[in-house]
Amino acid sequence: MANSPQSKKRARQNQARFAVNKARRSRIRTHLRKVEEAIASGDKDLAATALREAQPELMRGVSKGVFHKNTAARKMSRLSARVKALG
């Protein structure tokens, strides 16, 4: 358990960051799920639109430290390939 004032403050900061990161991660996953659902429905226009909306959210997660850069790049690459394959 935190004893020093500094460690108590760090614990408070960690809780606040955890809440922010959790919300951000949830928002990103929601965008990715919308892309997945659009792909599953077979609607290429809807999937492309959802992918364009998901990309900035995913990259924002990278810049904020929620996701690793390569993870986001891999997700975008795979999703865009699947959208492109819808014909």
Q: How confident is the model at residue 2 (pLDDT cuts 50, 70, 90)?
A: confident
Q: Averaged over 41-62, what is the pLDDT?
A: 96
Q: What is the pLDDT of residue 1?
A: 72
Cβ atoms 54, 35 nearer than 8 A: yes
Domain extent, residue 23, equals: 5-85
State the pTM of this model.
Answer: 0.86
The CATH number for 76's domain is: 1.20.58.110
Report how many domains make up the chain.
1
pLDDT score recorded for residue 87? 76
Q: Which is nearest to 35 in space by CA: 87, 80, 4, 85?
A: 80
What are the Cα distances from residue 71, in Å, to 2, 58, 59, 64, 76? 33, 10, 10, 14, 9
Q: Which of 69, 78, 70 is nearest to 51 (CA)?
A: 78
Is 80 exceeded by the pLDDT of residue 58?
yes
